[in-house]
């Protein structure tokens, strides 16, 4: 049994860059038919972004658009609008992430699409919620991170590198796509009951803020007591009235830090993360694993609260333990005692790890032609009775004829659309 959860669901995908395409990528991997609308001759901007070869689509595009169909369509022409209208009438989901106001200008707002096809669910990504003073701003990843308190709470907490810092993880882009996916799947389940499509609005800001929930917890605590015991600034440093950056502190009450391991002088990722849990039993095991059994009877260390007050001495001593061992050795030694520990991994180490090619974690997609095989991150969860397959990305407009034929257009009409600039760029002289 390998029934795709979204088999039979048709998605009209008017998205580009990363946030929207990451959502429709997931829908495609769950079995939906995804028809990506791209401007004739232009396509998704990422096709030509940071290419490894100027004649080929970029890895950016390849990694976010597999298993989709591409329909080249100028939605600003009358024929383009007619084609899009027909498509929407057959669609289960319409998704877009153009700049604020662009879809209204094109004539395909939520209200318009809902009137055309009341069953169609409409998914939108914008930078900000409609209530926001920033609602009209265009947005890219870092804009979401800086405006959602992610950047102000990330990075080093003292010295010249005490600057708002962006995460390497796409909290504003792919994370927003995953949030929209949740909303769309909920809307599909809701439609089962109501028979009617709904409007799912997902801002990058709210998706990013949703991952900063614990930072808002810290703000609440700070407002109440004026300090945060888990932060490196505690007990000696000063706190202001907002949550500061905390370096590599663990976000909950456990005492976690990143430690240099053997080889750190030449390898910037020769580090390991070690956590001391708060419970007495776990602490006892940790002391055994680290060989620090004297801590068990020392009141400066043998309670979690005391450890918060003496975290700098603790960090120093654990650092001494790690410095002459490599990160995998430390991981193996400490995990034996149940200590939460993990090596800092580089992208290269992750992608060189053959165990990651388990059919989902990392996947190899055969694009064919000059590109051949490329690696991407697969569907991050597994479903017991469904295994996604991972196929190539479409060429720009690669499915135009097929999609138009299915909509009932004749060969002559399809040829005319290409000639009049609806599905193919107009020759320069004719413009
Ligand atoms: C990403 C973003 C900043 C890019 O802005 P942009 O450079 O103005 O590009 P857009 O694709 O939104 O729109 C450009 C134009 O192309 C048009 N366009 C796009 N696809 C089209 C098509 N198939 N046919 C006709 N016109 C099309 C749009 O209607 C728009 O026209 P307009 O400027 O006359 O309104 C903006 O789309 C945005 O803020 N999106 C919401 C947040 C988001 O998802 N950000 C990306 C995170 S990865």
Rounded Cα distance between 384 and 368, Å, is 30
Distance 138 CA to ligand 1 centre (A): 9
Asked if residue 102 has its Cβ within 6 Å of ligand 1, the reply is yes
Mean pLDDT across 235-244 = 95
Residue closest to 375 by CA, chosen among 396, 390, 397, 385: 390
- Residues 394-400 have a mean pLDDT of 98
How far is the C-alpha of 34 from the C-alpha of 36, rounded, in Å? Answer: 6
Question: Does the C-beta of 126 come closer than 6 Å to ligand 1?
Answer: yes
CA of 17 to the centre of ligand 1 (A): 9
For the residues of 182-238, what is the DSSP string, one character each? HHHHHHHHHHHHHS---EEEEEHHHHHHHTTHHHHHHHHHHHHHS--TTSTTTTTS-
Contacts of 194 (CB under 8 A, 6+ apart): none
Q: Is the pLDDT of residue 427 over 80?
A: no
CATH for 10-210+355-430? 3.40.50.10540
Please give the Cα distance from 343 to 350 (Å, whole number). Answer: 11
The H or E element containing residue 154 is none
Q: Which atom number of ligand 1 is nearest to the Cα of residue 204? A: 42
pLDDT in tens, 290-346: 999 999 999 999 999 999 999 999 999 999 999 999 999 999 999 999 999 999 999
Give yes or no for residue 17 CB within 6 A of ligand 1: yes
* CA nearest neighbour of 239 among 225, 249, 251: 225
CA of 60 relative to ligand 1 center, distance in Å: 17
Is pLDDT of 428 > 90? no
Residue 19 Cβ < 6 Å to ligand 1: yes
CA distances from 348 to 260, 262, 263, 352, 353 (A): 19, 19, 17, 6, 8
What is d(CA 44, CA 15) in angstroms, rounded to the nearest whole number?
8
Within 10 Å of residue 241's Cβ, how many Cβ atoms? 8
The yes or no reply on domain 231-350 and CATH 3.30.1540.10 is yes
- pLDDT tens figures, 258-293: 999 999 999 999 999 999 999 999 999 999 999 999
Establish whether residue 209 lines the binding site of ligand 1, counting it when its CB lies within 6 angstroms of any ligand atom.
no
Q: To test the ligand 1 pocket, which listed residue (39, 49, 83, 99) has its Cβ within 8 A of the most ligand atoms? A: 99
CA distance 53 to 68: 22
Residues 22-47: tens digit of each pLDDT: 999 999 999 999 999 999 999 999 99
pTM, to two decimals: 0.96
Could you report the per-residue pLDDT of 197-206, keeping only the tens digit for each?
Answer: 999 999 999 9
Ligand 1 centroid from CA 102, angstroms: 7
pLDDT bracket for residue 232 (50, 70, 90): very high
Atom of ligand 1 nearest to the CA of 39: 23
What is the domain partition of the chain in residue ranges? Answer: 10-210+355-430, 231-350
Q: Which atom of ligand 1 is nearest to the CA of 173?
A: 48
| 252 confidence band (pLDDT: 50, 70, 90) | confident
Active site residues: 173
């Amino acid at each position: 049994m390998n029934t795709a959860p979204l088999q039979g669901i048709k998605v009209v995908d008017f998205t580009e860059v990363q946030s929207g395409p990451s959502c429709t990528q997931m829908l495609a991997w769950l079995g939906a038919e995804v028809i990506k609308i791209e401007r004739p001759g232009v396509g998704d901007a990422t096709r030509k972004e940071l290419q490894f070869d100027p004649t080929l689509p970029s890895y950016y595009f390849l990694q976010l658009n597999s298993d989709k169909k591409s329909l080249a369509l100028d939605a600003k022409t009358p024929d383009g609008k007619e084609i899009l209208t027909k498509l929407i009438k057959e669609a289960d989901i319409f998704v877009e992430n153009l700049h604020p106001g662009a879809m209204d200008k094109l004539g395909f707002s939520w209200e318009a699409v809902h009137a055309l096809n009341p069953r169609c669910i409409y998914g939108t990504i914008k930078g900000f919620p409609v209530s926001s003073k920033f609602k009209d701003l265009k947005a890219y990843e870092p804009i979401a991170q800086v405006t959602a308190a992610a950047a102000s709470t990330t990075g080093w907490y003292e010295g010249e590198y005490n600057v708002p810092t962006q995460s390497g993880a796409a909290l504003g882009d792919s994370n927003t796509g995953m949030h929209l996916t949740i909303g769309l799947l909920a809307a599909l389940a809701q439609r089962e009951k109501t028979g009617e499509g709904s409007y799912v609005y997902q801002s990058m800001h709210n998706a990013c803020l949703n991952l900063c929930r614990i930072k808002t917890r810290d703000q609440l605590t700070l407002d109440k007591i004026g300090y945060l015991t888990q932060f490196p600034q505690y007990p000696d440093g000063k706190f202001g009235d907002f949550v500061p950056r905390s370096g590599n502190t663990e976000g909950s009450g456990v005492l976690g830090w990143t430690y240099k391991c053997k080889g750190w002088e030449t390898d910037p990722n020769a580090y390991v993360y070690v956590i001391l849990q708060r419970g007495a039993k776990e602490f006892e095991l940790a002391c055994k694993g680290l060989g620090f059994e004297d801590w068990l009877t020392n009141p400066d260390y043998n309670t979690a609260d005391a450890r918060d007050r003496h975290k700098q001495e603790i960090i120093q001593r654990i650092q001494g333990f790690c410095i002459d061992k490599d990160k995998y050795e430390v991981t193996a030694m400490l995990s034996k005692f149940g200590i939460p520990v993990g090596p800092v991994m580089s992208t290269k180490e992750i992608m060189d790890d053959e165990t990651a090619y388990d059919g989902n974690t990392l996947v190899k997609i055969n694009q064919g032609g000059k590109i051949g095989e490329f690696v991407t991150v697969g569907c991050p969860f597994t479903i017991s009775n469904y295994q996604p397959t991972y196929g190539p990305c479409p060429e720009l407009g690669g499915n135009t004829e097929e999609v138009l034929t299915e909509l009932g257009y004749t060969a002559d009409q399809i040829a005319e659309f290409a000639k009049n600039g609806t599905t193919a760029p107009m020759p320069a002289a004719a413009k």
